[in-house]
Amino acid sequence: MQTLSLQRGVIYDPVDSRRLGRSLGINLLPTGYKLCAFDCIYCQYGRTKVLTAKAEEEPFPTVELVLRKVREALRQVPNLNYVTFSGNGEPTPTPISMRL
């Protein structure tokens, strides 16, 4: 299985999905490493180097930063169907998508 690179920002490019159409990704976790308490063999980001659910190296993005980045992206990216709240690992629940 090919793994993906971690998301390097709060917002990541729209993903085309058969189920959701064009979905804008919102990373609610730190961007410099995979924050996860699991080591799932099917994880799209690969193996977990340090099993943890506590952010230590880098803080979570603030609400203000997330809102600002989402507003900017919604102005710049046309034809979105959904925004999907996800992240670089867990403790985010299963990604949550909201129809626009």
**pLDDT tens digits, 18-61:** 888 999 999 998 888 888 888 888 888 898 888 877 777 678 89
In a domain, 1, yes or no: no
Q: Which residues pair with 17 in a beta bridge?
A: 21
98 pLDDT above the threshold of 80: no
Burial 46-75 (b: 16+ CB within 10 A, else e): bebeeeeeeeeeeeebeeeebeebbeebee
pTM of the model: 0.79
Q: Which of 48, 100, 40 lies closest to 75 in space, CA to CA? A: 100
Domain of residue 48: give its range. 11-99
Q: How many domains does the chain have?
A: 1
In a domain, 83, yes or no: yes
Q: Which of 84, 86, 90 lies closest to 22 in space, CA to CA? A: 84
The DSSP output letter for 61 is: P
